[in-house]
Structure 1
Amino acid sequence: MRHIVEARDLILEYDKSFRVINKANFSINVNDFVFITGKSGSGKSTLIRSMYGDMAISDGSLNVCLNELKGINHSSLALLRQRVGIIFQDFRLINEWNVEKNVMLPLIIKGYNQSVCKKQAAKLLNHVNLLHKSDRFPLELSGGEQQRVAMARALAHNPQLLLCDEPTGSLDDYSSEVIWMLLRSAREALGTCVVVVTHKIPAGLRMHYRHFELSNGEVNEII
């Protein structure tokens, strides 16, 4: 089974005196749903950031979507990010753009024409049950709705890998449940590999998943 993420003796550090990840070895397969947990400050978000090139690799190897991230150049990184979707806790939508245009953003960057962009945006907004609010602006939506828009945007370019950094951290229980259902759907219906940083794995997911825990710079799989 092909790995979509593979780390070998991975070291991540902000400076020589602050090593966050210390010689980690792990792999994630193309069809996995993975949770990453750990105490506050254990390096969960740092590890996720390294997977899309927002955190430099200090030493070792990190391969994502067949791209080695240590020393990766700008053009290769841009191509890698076309294969990766990212969902943040704080949504990071463009408030001056309506919902439809926010979802279209990854396709606009890739150079698709407006017709293709609109068709894909409508498909995904329908999937997250927000097609009826496509002309609204982010600040007119609830937090749960904004996160569903962010999810639609992250999936717009059919990514191989979906990275989620505390996607339900600022949401109420109902909105959180909706997001977990949509993430499960992304894995099952679209075949996207999903990696989620969270402080707590939700109960009742009714699906197979893998669990990595960060502690003292180590990445250990919990079996």
Structure 2
Amino acid sequence: MDKVIIADNLSLSYSKEETIINKVSFSINSGSFVFITGASGSGKSTLLKSLYGALKPVEGSLVVAGVELKGVTKSKLNLLRKHTGIVFQDYKLVKEWTIEKNIMLPLIISGYDKSVTQNQVDSLLKHVRLKHQAGKYPKELSGGEQQRVAMARALSHNPVLILADEPTGNLDDYSSQLIWNLLEGANEQLKSTVIVVTHHIPETMKVDYQHFHIEYGRINEVT
């Protein structure tokens, strides 16, 4: 089976004084659903940042979708990100844009034509049950609704890899279940590799998943 992520002796740090992730090695198969858990400050979000090139390795090797991220060029990093959907904890929606236009963003960047873009956005708005909010702006929506928009944006370009940082951390039960259903659907139907940083793995998961736990800078698979 193809490996979408290969980490070999990987270390990550924000400063020379403190290593957050210390010489870890692991791999993730293409099409997997993966949870990454750990205490607050253990390095979960740090590891996730490294997977889309926001934090470069200080030691070792990190290959994501065939791209070596240590010393990666800007063009290769942009190419990787075109095939990656990211769901941030704080949504990162463009506040001056409507909900509809926010979801369109990855499709515009990827060069999809207008009719394909519109059809995809209409479909996703139905999936996240926000069709009636298409013309509104992020500040007019609740936190749960904003996260559903962020989820739709991450899925809009049918990504190979989906990275989600605490995607349901502050959401009500209705929005949380909707997000989990969308992530499971992307994994099963689009065959996307899904990697989720979370404090709690939901008991309602229907897909098989891998579980990695971070502690004291090390990452271990939980079986």
Give the TM-score normalised by structure 2. 0.96
> Is there any run of 5+ residues in structure 2 with no aligned partner, and where?
none
Q: Which residue of 1 aligns with 2:53?
A: 53
- Partners of 2:148 and 2:175 within 8 A in 1: no
Name the % identity.
Answer: 56
Residues 1:165 and 2:165 aligned together? yes
CA deviation after TM superposition for structure 1 residue 6, in Å: 0.9
Equivalent residue runs for 1:136-155 within 5 Å: 136-155=136-155
CA deviation after TM superposition for structure 1 residue 125, in Å: 1.4
Divergent runs of 4+, >6 A:
none
Partners of 2:6 and 2:93 in 1: how far apart?
A: 30
Which amino acid is 2:171 matched to?
A: L
> Is there any run of 5+ residues in structure 1 with no aligned partner, and where?
none
* Matched positions, count: 223
Partners of 1:163 and 1:126 in 2: how far apart?
A: 22
CA deviation after TM superposition for structure 1 residue 206, in Å: 2.5
Which amino acid is 1:14 matched to?
A: Y
Partners of 1:144 and 1:35 in 2: how far apart?
A: 21
1:126-160 residue CA offsets vs partner (Å, 9 max, x unmatched): 22222222112112222211111111101111110
Equivalent residue runs for 1:69-148 within 5 Å: 69-148=69-148
1:54-99 residue CA offsets vs partner (Å, 9 max, x unmatched): 0011011100011000000111100110011000111111121111
Partners of 1:177 and 1:84 in 2: how far apart?
A: 22
1:184-208 residue CA offsets vs partner (Å, 9 max, x unmatched): 1111122111000001111121221
The range that moved more, 23-32 or 170-179, is: 170-179
CA deviation after TM superposition for structure 1 residue 114, in Å: 2.4
